[in-house]
Amino acid sequence: MAQYKVPQKELLFVLHDVLGVDRLAELPGLEEATGEIIDGVVDEAAKFVEGEIAPLRESADETGARWEDGEVILPEGMKEAYQRYAESGWVGLASPPEYGGQGLPYVLSKVVEEMLCGANVAFALYPGLTSSCFEAIEAVATDEIKARYLPKLGTGEWSGTMCLTEPQAGSDLAAVKTRATPNDDGSYSLEGMKIFITGGEHQMTDNIIHLVLARLPDAPAGIKGLSTFVVPKFLVNDDGSIGERNKLRCVSIEHKMGIHASSTCTMGFDGAQGWLVGEPNQGIQNMFIMMNLARIMVGFQGLGQCELATQNALAYAGERKQGKTFGGGDTIVDHPDVRRMLLTMRAYTEAGRVMALDTSMHVDIAHRHGDAAEREAAQDYVELMTPLVKAFLTDAAFELGSLAVQVYGGHGFIREHGIEQIIRDSKILALYEGTNGIQAMDLVRRKLQLHGGRLPDRFFERVRTDLDAGGPDWLVAPLREALEAVEATTRTFQDGFREDPNDAAYGCCDFLRAFALVALGHAWLRMVRAADDRGDAGFAEGKQVTAHHFATRLLPHAVTLCRTAALPAGPVMGRSASLLDAA
């Protein structure tokens, strides 16, 4: 079976040596986030995840969630593990103390999330969506609603969901039909159907709080007519106790390719009582508060799966004896093609971790720094990097899962080793919270244009400054070439000289990957320097070898990707009719 061990040394190296996370203790409200506290949290989380969560990964996948007469039954051990996780304070690690949380940095909660997602990504979805629901309510709800729901959500005693999708409204939320009719007491009655609701029904918590997109009777058509409502599974009395069952139910659950232990529900709202969250017809803006951080969360799900795939491929290759190597090695790790795959896996995983944690640390800075200019710059970085973190790391999870199967050979294809589960569990990550194609369009159509192009300009300047500070030529030269290619293609998209919007839409995924490769190259430049400064020759050598593989074999693809991203789409889009003709 596949094994997961928290990469504790690597995590602490990135946090302290590469990112300088200790400086967060200088921000208001994070004074207790010292290096000692951070190290202690990482250590305790590692023990919990390895001991409690990882052992459930394969057994929970085998059993899966099942639906019986409106109730969802989860695999054995899931409820008990969740309750211990919540009681230990992990759900509310970064939540404000006034709502039962520990008030620690957001980036530290993402470190724990990576661990959780490497150990058991299906389990991780339950506390992950709860935190996202908490964040949306905290941002826009009235004090009364906050007081009623956040203390139990913040500790994980209650769980949360996000109810957007409907059968006719997937990525196109303008087609949402769920209706919310005002009641005399200030509440609303919701009627409609929502699909693909992660954690929509289960027995792990006493209550489930649904954040639901719906339309008021007088709402304008389209996306501008959506409002947000908090709809609890059980109504909550004025004293905070749980009241009667609300008029909503789980109609069915999906039978999925992967994440079998996660209940993916179809929810029917049959006059369910809900309360408006935020202003009327501002629902999409409210949901995006939740969704943007949820997209970072999904990126960490991908990162966890990348780490799981890489760990197991490395371990297997170091033990498996097969064939003769050119250099006389005993195991397949010394076969050049296997070594290529393993270094690709390490290169993406280790640099992806820097990219994701750096983005998360900028969330803390954007929320807490005392200087408005610093907050603005940090928020620009978060806005720009969010589609990269989500799309690149989730694509990488699927790719690295496939590489892990390749390293294992036939043994990876059978279920006994638990490697094929990585592919099955990872594919959904590229689909939910906005498909990766949507992430690429967000990068090209919005993030490159926002504030007059300020976001990418600041990123390019940051990378250029680090390049000018020097480094090994085998890394600096290809990174500078890739940066120039991405910057030139950015200008192409920004200038808007193309008359056909299909051009950007057709090339955006290539462009996002090229942009991400530059971000990973920048991460490798920072890691190589930090490793050299550690005084650990063996550790530094490992970083040098992996960085060299990335710089010479992977990073140059950015230039080609930029070239294809800039091509016109007319020759292919103009022939769509013939493409659809029957053979």
The string over 281-316, giving b where at least 16 C-beta atoms fall within 10 Å of a residue's C-beta and e elsewhere, is bbbbebbebbbbbbbbbbbbbbbbbbbbbbbbbbeb
| Span 135-183, pLDDT tens digits | 999 999 999 999 999 999 999 999 999 999 999 877 777 778 999 999 9
In a domain, 447, yes or no: yes
Residues 398-408: tens digit of each pLDDT: 999 999 999 99
Cα-to-chain-centroid distance, residue 461 = 26
Is 470 a domain residue?
A: yes
Average pLDDT over residues 179-189: 97
Question: Does a structural domain hold residue 240?
Answer: yes
For residue 261, give Cα distances in angstroms to 133, 160, 256, 356.
20, 17, 10, 26
Q: What is the pTM (predicted TM-score) of this model?
A: 0.96
377 lies in a domain?
Answer: no
Domain presence at residue 136 = no
In a domain, 343, yes or no: no
Pairwise CA distance, residues 522 & 460, whole Å: 10
- The model's confidence at residue 498, banded by pLDDT at 50, 70 and 90, is low
Number of domains in the chain: 2
Mean pLDDT of 359-364: 98
Dump strand ranges (E) for 401-447.
Answer: none
Question: Among residues 135, 383, 433, 487, which one is catalytic?
Answer: 433
Quick: pLDDT tens for 417-461: 999 999 999 999 999 999 999 999 999 999 999 999 999 999 999
Stretch 517-538: mean pLDDT, rounded? 96
Domain-ending residue, one of 267, 285, 303: 285
Indicate whether 272 belongs to any domain.
Answer: yes
Give me the CATH number covering residue 254.
Answer: 2.40.110.20
Residue 578, pLDDT score: 60
pLDDT at 490: 96
Q: Helix (H, G, I), strand (E, B), or coil: what is residue 513? A: helix
| Listed residues 285, 311, 335: the one ending a domain | 285
Residue 236 lies in a domain: yes
Distance CA 39, CA 406 (A): 35
Domain that holds residue 441: 436-570
- Classified as helix, coil or strand, 230 is strand
**Residue 144: active-site member:** no
> Where is 136: in which H helix or E strand?
helix 106-140
The rounded percent of the chain whose pLDDT value lies above 70 is 98
* CA dihedral of residues 103, 108, 110, 114 (deg, nearest 10): -140
pLDDT band at 64 (very low <50, low <70, confident <90, very high): very high
Q: Which of 264, 285, 306 is the last residue of a domain?
A: 285
Mean pLDDT of 551-580: 87
CA 472-473-476 angle, to 5 degrees, is 85
* Amino acid 322: pLDDT: 84
pLDDT band for position 356 (cuts 50, 70, 90): very high
Q: 33 burial class (0-12, 13-18, 19+ CB within 10 angstroms)?
A: buried
Describe the crossing of helices 473-495 and 450-468 by its angle, rounded to 10 degrees: 170
Which 3 state secondary structure label does DSSP give 418? coil
